[in-house]
Amino acid sequence: MYRRAKEMWVARGGYPGGRAVVLAGPEAQEVEALRDYFRLPPAQVLFVDRDPRGLYVAEKKWPGVGTFHGELKDALQEVDEIGFLNLDFMGKYDRNVCLSAKAARGKIKLGAVIAYTFFKGHEYEGQWGFRRQKSVIEKVLGRPTRTTDEIRFAGSAACLAEDFALATLQYRWSTSYRSMTERSIGSPMGVLLLQNSVY
């Protein structure tokens, strides 16, 4: 995912500027990707979490990095411009995703990349997010959806474009994987990369 995001920036001449905003998780595992692979200065990066554990880890591993303890939507109110945003709630398309995107309206730089990671296989017909994904993408396509993956991936991309109020948010790349660890058999996941681009 980081490699794809970087390729998208390189193709346009480099990182578009603005803050890189990510959810820390308990271990702030993205420090290395943002520092050593994206090569961003610490002040340009903001780790956010309602759970403070990963924020302490981020500050210890990377002195000078930005941290925000609280809700992502509140953190985004305090950011002026965004070059990278990782919506890695590891959940479904819910109000958390929707309100965070709304809080970032008007702040997404041209060339910025937005990643969205979600649980695959937990959807059901009556679920708010799933119903919304289906109806929004069916309106865009002008036809009924054919597969659940179409609703998951294209539907999420269409809802994100609507929630960020960004008609130039382009679907660039997606993948599926299993979030397996040494202690758990994990869960099927989907990842989507979108870029704010006019082409």
Ligand X SMILES: C[S@@+](CC[C@H](N)C(=O)[O-])C[C@H]1O[C@@H](n2cnc3c(N)ncnc32)[C@H](O)[C@@H]1O
Nearest C-alpha neighbor of 4 from the set 184, 173, 175: 173
Nearer to ligand X, 24 or 161 (CB): 24
Burial 96-111 (b: 16+ CB within 10 A, else e): bbbbbbebbeebbbeb
Instruction: Examine residue 90 and tell whether it contacts ligand X (CB under 6 A).
Output: yes
49 or 134: CB nearest ligand X: 49
Q: How far is the CB of 99 from ligand X (least distance, A)?
A: 8
Give 67 or 196: the residue with its C-beta nearer to ligand X: 67
Whole-angstrom distance, CA of residue 88 vs CA of residue 35: 18
Taking the C-alpha atoms of residue 118 and residue 15, their distance in angstroms, rounded to an integer, is: 25
Round to whole Å and give the CA distance between 27 and 91.
Answer: 18
Residue in the block written with tokens 């397996």: 180
One residue of 86, 156, 195, 196 binding ligand X per CB under 6 A: 86
Site for ligand X in 122-181 (CB under 6 A): none
Given a contact cutoff of 8 angstroms between Cβ atoms, the answer to whether 116 and 97 are in contact is: yes
Site for ligand X in 37-56 (CB under 6 A): 48-51
- Per CB under 6 A, does 72 bind ligand X? yes
User: Which of 2, 35, 42, 71 touches ligand X (CB under 6 A)?
Assistant: 71
For ligand X, the closer of residues 67 and 137 by Cβ is: 67
Residues that bind ligand X (CB under 6 A): 22-23, 25-26, 29-30, 48-51, 71-72, 86, 88-90, 96
